[in-house]
Amino acid sequence: MIRRKLLTTGFYLTILAALPLQAAFADDAFPEKPIHITVVWPAGGGHDLVARLLGNELSTIMGTPVVIDNVTGAGGSTGMRHIVNAAPDGYTIGVMGLHAVSQAYMNTNAPELDGLDPLAYISDEPGALQIRAGLGIDTLEEYIAAMQSDPMDLMNGNDPQGGNSFVFAEVIPAALGVEMMKLPYPGHAPTVTALLTGEVQTATLPVPPIIEHANAGTLHVLGVASEDRHPQLPDVPTFREQGYDIVVNDFVMMVGPKGIPDAVSAKLETSLLEAINSDGFRAAAERSAMVLRPLGRAEAATELAAQEELVYPLLETAGLVATELLRN
């Protein structure tokens, strides 16, 4: 009786074990099976939204289903490793931003950036400085004056070390010549909440998470750290216009593992750019306050290198670079 039960169990286990053994055959006509876009953050975030919108367009353009995989954990490093270690056949690509640059220096287990091949640059996400309404501080000059008289009076909400709003909170006050008291929150949504409930008075978030509150007047944007004004905030001057040379931004780009055959990589580049420029994606991107700047592979690689040069000194000064990864 026992043996029969065990045999039955064994039988079903064998069947189940055999299920994933579907051989995948390579062919030259790319793509001939679904393309997977890896998102290193949980479903519902900014990158996830970009991937799902883009995937929707890409599947019609390339004529193949596009699957979104949220491979999350370890500050995005698990997902980046997933991309770097994937077979370089073009079927696994991913979305990345500034976080991956920081992690590459902070975490010895995070993949180094030279394991990645940029495929297309999607958008800039310029830094900005926001302040709660009702504090009597509506302009950058008033903010600087208030901060110089008492630096501890206004607290700033931002990401933990390495996140984009942390980088903004390093760059912006340094250029304004003020000391900023930084309070970390795990992510943009909790930072917005803290700003609205008044736990912090200022934040250095990018524009998308605060656009609605800025329009509603519950907070003021004191400046945007880009060369041109933000398209969704045409009345807010840039820092440059106000006399401070601050240009700092996060970015969103599509990458793949190093070594994708050139023909495949070129086809991905063209299709991705077509998807980014499609009406559907453009309209959705505008609604969520993204600043589109579609660029091809080569320019994306230049941008990535420039970001690396911006972030590394900041991390080094803050003592966040892992000893093994310090540059000499």
Partner 1 sequence: MLLSAFTDVLMEFATDPRMLGLVALGTLLGLVLGAIPGISSTMALAILMPVTFAMQPGVAILFLMSVFMSSVYGGSISAILMKLPGTPASIFTQIDGYPMAQSGRAGHALTYALVASTVGGLIGLAMLVLLAPVLAGFATNFRSPEFAAVALFGIVMLSFASNGSTLVASVVGFIGVALGMVGFDALSDAQRMTMNTPMLQSGLNLIPVIIGLFGLAEILNNLIGFGRTTHSRPQIGKIMLPLRELTSRWKVMLRGSIIGTFIGAVPAAGSAVAVSIAYGQERRLSKDPDAFGKGHPDGVVAPEAANSASVGGSLIPLIALGVPGDTITAVLMGALMVHGLTPGPLLFTSSPTFVAWIYVSVLLALISTLVLGLGMIRAAVMVTRIPPQLMYVFIAVFCVIGAFAIRNDINDVYVMLTFGVIGFVFTRLGLPVTPLAFGLILGPILEENLRRSLMISRGSWSIFLERPISAILIAICVILITLPLFQWLRARLRPADIVRQSNKPL
Interface contacts to partner 1, rule CB under 8 A: 1-2, 5, 8-9, 12-13, 16, 42-45, 48-49, 52-53, 55-56, 68-75, 77-78, 81-82, 106-109, 155, 160-163, 183-186, 189-190, 192-194, 196-199, 211-213, 215-216, 218, 280, 284, 287-288
Asked whether the beta carbons of 273 and 252 are under 8 A apart, the reply is no
Q: Which is nearer to partner 1, 190 or 296 (CB)?
A: 190
**CB-wise, 162 or 223, nearer to partner 1?**
162
The smaller minimum CB distance to partner 1, of residues 123 and 265, is found at: 123
For the CB of residue 177, give the shortest distance to partner 1 in the complex, in Å: 23
Pick the closer one to partner 1 by CB: 31 or 163. 163
* Residue with Cβ nearer partner 1 (44 or 177): 44
Name 236's Cβ contacts closer than 8 Å, sequence gap at least 6.
128, 214, 221, 223, 224, 229, 230
Q: Please report how close the Cβ of residue 5 comes to partner 1 at its closest, in angstroms.
A: 5
Nearer to partner 1, 243 or 319 (CB): 319
273 within 8 A of 82, measured Cβ to Cβ: no
Minimum CB separation of residue 236 from partner 1 in Å reads 18
In sequence order, what DSSP letters do the residues of 243-266 get, joined into one string? T-----EEEEEEEEETT--HHHHH
Complete DSSP assignment for 133-171: TTSS--SHHHHHHHHHH-TTTSEEEEPSTTSHHHHHHHH
Least distance from partner 1 to the Cβ atom of residue 162, Å: 6
> Are 220 and 135 within 8 A, CB to CB?
no
Distance CA 132, CA 233 (A): 17
CB of residue 265 to partner 1, shortest distance in Å: 24
Amino acid identity for residue 224 in this structure: V
Tell me if 262 sits within 8 A of 271, measured CB to CB: no
Residue type, 55: G
Tell me which residue has tokens 């208030």. Answer: 146
- The residue among 184, 179, 171 whose CA lies nearest residue 310 is 171
CB of 147 to partner 1, least distance (A): 17
Helix axes 279-287, 46-62, angle to 10 degrees: 170
Q: How far is the CB of 199 from partner 1 (least distance, A)?
A: 4
* Closer residue to partner 1 (CB): 73 or 313: 73
